[in-house]
Amino acid sequence: MKTLNAEEAAEFLHLNVKRVQSMAREGKLPAARVGRKWLFRREELERLLGSADHDGATVTLTISARNRLRGTVAQLNVDGLMAEVIMRIGEQELVSVITRSSAVRLGLKVGDEVVAVIKSTEIMIGKEGVE
């Protein structure tokens, strides 16, 4: 069983330390106070996030989208709250704009193998030379 202090829990949850402490004080996060410090069980935080089952085992997520393209992160531009991810898929590039926190949570870096999941209600097809 791994125990996290407030700073480690904040990093794990991608929140500010003060916010984590406040949520623990309000009973919104499972925590124990020892002296002046808050302690958090990692498995309880994972369960809260839905990334572990009741036995603490890691849970994988299966999604319905079938349009998945495997590629490599060719370029990563992080600015402010957003991140632009440029993927190389064969000879083509695919650009996706995601939140900065998602890029950090995924630990994205250039050269990483990733999967683009495309879910759309409309796809347009074009052909050059046809009016």
Instruction: Locate the domains of the chain by residue range.
Output: 3-49, 68-117
More confident residue, 53 or 131: 131
Longest dimension (CA), the chain: 75
Q: What is the pTM of this model?
A: 0.50
Adjacent-strand bridge partners of 38: 33
The CATH fold assigned to 68-117 is OB fold (Dihydrolipoamide Acetyltransferase, E2P) (2.40.50)
> Per-residue pLDDT tens for 87-131?
999 899 999 999 998 899 889 999 999 988 887 767 676 777 766
Q: Give the strand order in the sheet containing 3-5.
A: 3-5, 37-41, 32-34
Position 61 pLDDT exceeds 60: no
